Structure 1
Amino acid sequence: GIKLLIDGLLKKIKNPFSIFFFSVDVLDNYRELYEILKEYWKLRESKGLKNCYIFLDEVTLLENWWRAVKVFIDQYKPKAVFVLSGSVSMFFHGKAETFAGRRGKGKLINVMPLSFPEYFKLFKKPRLPATLAEIFKNYLKTGGYLGVLNKTIEEEDIILGLKNDLRIANKSVEIAKHIMADIFKKAPSPCSFHSIANDVGVSVKTVIEYLETLKEMFVLKDILYMSLDGRVYPRKERKLMVRDPFLTNAISIWTRCEIRKDFLYEWIVQEHLLRKYGEVYYYRDRYEIDCLTDRLKIEVKAGKPHRKYPKNVIILKEKNIPEFLFSL
């Protein structure tokens, strides 16, 4: 991630003082961050540097971090590239919008776990049915987290991180746990906010707030209903998917809910289609289609299909999922 980027920059630039890295989570308040930025700027001027790169890691763990950066930019108008990173989405706190007019050509990049094709390429093996199946089986356990492959992250670490992010968002860990458990029990069927609220014993408003928070944390994504004529119905029941297999495994341990192949495979296919096409929907009437995009209609089957589907619907069987994901 960031360290690899810095390593690459060090090979290109002449003066290493052009790069400043600081992990913000050790600070007590945003004023300290502002003072640190001022001190680096003095150092930069003393070295006669024109351009520089400022890396601030874990900014979202410092309350009001954005105030320090905003005031610094307004006061010094630095000719610098800022790289602000954090384990909690910056949109999640609604603070990325505060930099309107100050971003220049900057972008907000959400780093997601690896897709299956990206994951497969790490192993440098030939794209054969046997190797695809073998590595996909491993992907079901580790998901796209490099830390899991490197054995530096376990399910407990993901659960602790999730709990911490919920507390930062002023959300109850217990309510979130019960909502996630209900999603696992209902999956892969569509469900309503009311049904979750009744099962968990909270208001519909609370369910909506928690689901929005979990979506902004990139834990969940909702799959809305689309009719065959292309109309989307936001008020109909929706499907809810967890966005990575390892995350699914971790939440399963946390909630003590079973992972079934039917919804795990469906979630994986939906996530990959979402990354490819930007949106994915479902259809259900006389028959169900798990995944609808503007180009594809796919029904994911962990077992044998029990009915016939129209010719334009792809029936994606378990053994064909790895090749399909790789072909996207």
Structure 2
Amino acid sequence: MAFDKNILAGRIVDDNTWWEDDRIPFYDEFSKRRYYHGFFELVSQKFPHRAVVLMGPRRIGKTVIMYQAIQDLIDQGVNPKNIFYFSLDTPIYTNVPLEELISYGLEINKVSIEESYIFFDEIQYLKNWEIHLKSLVDRNRKSKFIASGSAAAALRMKSIESGAGRFTDYFLPPLTFAEYIDLNGYDDLLSETEVDFGGPRRFYECSDIERFNNHFIDYINFGGFPEIALNSDKVKNPERVIQKDITDKVIMKDLPGLFGIENTLELQQFFNVLSYRTGEILDYKKVSQETKTDNKTIKKYIKYLEAAFLIKVLHRVDLTAKRFKNITQFKIYLTNPSLFTGLFGRVTDGDERFPHLVETAVYAQYLHREHEFLRYANWKTGKDEGEVDLIQISNNYQDVHWAVEIKWSDNPKAGKLKQFMSKNNLTKGVITSKTKFEDFEDLLIVPNSIYAYVVSKNALRKLDDEIF
């Protein structure tokens, strides 16, 4: 359908209110996430000449930080009429080429494209977006293009294939636990301390671990989504918000659009099963029996759900941290434990699934470090069998950097962890607990809530004292 040019132009004006007011009402009142500053550096960077592709799941603040970047550009002296924003999930923009949208904006403001900043939100809704964006970058050397999208894996794949040298990817994860604590002002419960990990390392301790754990439980239930986590007293029925605005839209709208999926009900049921099993060791036979799907379909659906950034797959190594030739076993984690709440309702620390959600929450703090080789260890040789929940290894599988066993207990057993440490020349390991904090020569026992805070606090900080 071809819309009247005046209607299209009117919508563009409505979406770019700063052309008249020099301000963006409401959005500049949001606190800036710790990831904002790295994003804005790329937005304002002149060289190398590349588009910025902001990736991340739904409802974690991508649109907000784009608006915040627009406001900061204006505050730094950029002409507001040279800043354009287009949300490509807007029906009136459907099938309108990017070049045409831009030309409408330029015509309205009577400005040149040179020295302009052009933001495309939810760019995955444009077919062959990477080809269009690459062409714009190549032909407009004095303009900056910024795009966002909710299907991180699919966007990255196309970015690598078609945008080599033209695009810079920037990943925005769900709200981390450290952000949740700091932005809500709960960090007054913490104080800096040191632990011994080949020398003194910066860490944190808590004056009231029971209260801090209650915040951790709230984070598991609702904390991954900024809009809910930072306004919990204003959001009615957050479980429904998570389900309807996030999982349902991804399953019913995003994935069919990206991959042409027809049987969305089957995919939804498959996702429900994997979500309930978050943090568990799975194998294709078990998943096939429980979901009544064949291995080929299982692999296809897992690919789709990873592309939509709903799940992450963690692969297995053996006792000596070596890969298995045949991949039959794996772990699935929700990228955000709050997704479990949207599907099955909120949980308490006494629920049967809660230890798995604790493990999911801890793993979620590492999502910003996708370049690192994270694995889990699982082995069985005769009567000897064991598991270590999370390890980091070198990309050649020759060295193990650290190992963590995740428990929701104050009497955690470290036997299997120490066996793995001995086999891989680790002098010290970590085992998490409910409230216990002790620093031994070969083992650090630390509450899950504090460990999650430390990992996410180090998310953007590359310091000598960072250990995880």
Q: Same fold (TM over 0.5)?
A: yes
Counterparts of residues 144-223 of structure 1 (less than 5 Å): 144-149=224-229, 150=231, 151=234, 154-155=241-242, 156-163=244-251, 164-168=253-257, 169-171=259-261, 172-184=263-275, 186-223=277-314
- Flag the 1:91–1:188 CA change in 2: closer, same or farther, 3 A: closer
Contact 2:151–2:309, Cα closer than 8 Å, also in 1: no
CA RMSD of aligned residues (A): 2.9
**Amino acid of the structure 2 residue aligned with 1:266:** E
Match of 2:218 in 1: 138
Moved more, 93-102 or 9-18: 93-102
Identical amino acids, percent of aligned pairs: 21
Aligned to 1:85, what secondary structure does the other structure show?
Answer: strand
Match of 1:263 in 2: 356
Aligned to 2:260, what secondary structure does the other structure show?
Answer: coil
Q: Give the Cα–Cα distance (whole angstroms) in 2 for the partners of residues 129 and 245 of structure 1.
A: 26
Considering fraction of residues, name the structure with more strand. Answer: 2
> Could you give the per-residue CA deviations for residues 23-77 of structure 1, whole angstroms, max 9, x where no partner exists?
2222354344331223345567x54674111011122223344454344445x43
Q: Give the Cα–Cα distance (whole angstroms) in 2 for the partners of residues 187 and 144 of structure 1.
A: 16
> Could you give the per-residue CA deviations for residues 196-215 of structure 1, whole angstroms, max 9, x where no partner exists?
12322222111101101111
Q: Give the Cα–Cα distance (whole angstroms) in 2 for the partners of residues 121 and 97 of structure 1.
A: 35
- Flag the 1:96–1:41 CA change in 2: closer, same or farther, 3 A: farther
Deviation of 1:310 (Å): 4.7
Deviation of 1:110 (Å): 2.2
Counterparts of residues 72-111 of structure 1 (less than 5 Å): 72-73=136-137, 76-89=139-152, 91-92=154-155, 94-97=157-160, 99-100=162-163, 103=166, 106-111=167-172
Match of 2:184 in 1: 123
Match of 1:272 in 2: 365
Considering fraction of residues, name the structure with more helix. Answer: 1
Match of 2:453 in 1: 326
Matched, 1:248 2:347: no
**Amino acid of the structure 2 residue aligned with 1:7:** Q
Aligned to 1:302, what secondary structure does the other structure show?
Answer: coil
- Flag the 1:200–1:51 CA change in 2: closer, same or farther, 3 A: same
Match of 2:407 in 1: 301
- Flag the 1:306–1:69 CA change in 2: closer, same or farther, 3 A: closer
Aligned to 1:84, what secondary structure does the other structure show?
Answer: strand
Contact 1:113–1:145, Cα closer than 8 Å, also in 2: yes
- Flag the 1:18–1:161 CA change in 2: closer, same or farther, 3 A: same
Deviation of 1:308 (Å): 3.6
Moved more, 229-238 or 6-15: 229-238
Contact 2:153–2:307, Cα closer than 8 Å, also in 1: no
Match of 2:122 in 1: 58
* TM-score of the superposed pair, with normalisation by structure 2: 0.61
Runs of 4 or more above 6 Å deviation: none
Deviation of 1:186 (Å): 4.3
Unmatched 5+ stretches in structure 1: none
Match of 1:34 in 2: 99
Deviation of 1:230 (Å): 2.5
Aligned to 2:133, what secondary structure does the other structure show?
Answer: helix
**Amino acid of the structure 2 residue aligned with 1:240:** I
Match of 2:57 in 1: none
Moved more, 266-275 or 13-22: 266-275
Unmatched 5+ stretches in structure 2: 1-64, 191-205, 346-350, 380-384, 393-399, 419-427, 436-446, 456-468
Deviation of 1:177 (Å): 2.4
* TM-score of the superposed pair, with normalisation by structure 1: 0.85
Aligned to 1:247, what secondary structure does the other structure show?
Answer: helix
Contact 2:106–2:112, Cα closer than 8 Å, also in 1: no
Deviation of 1:259 (Å): 6.9
> Could you give the per-residue CA deviations for residues 59-115 of structure 1, whole angstroms, max 9, x where no partner exists?
2223344454344445x4342110111233373484324543561xx4111211111
Deviation of 1:185 (Å): 5.0
**Amino acid of the structure 2 residue aligned with 1:295:** H
Residue among 51, 60, 72 paired with 1:8: 72
Matched, 1:17 2:89: no
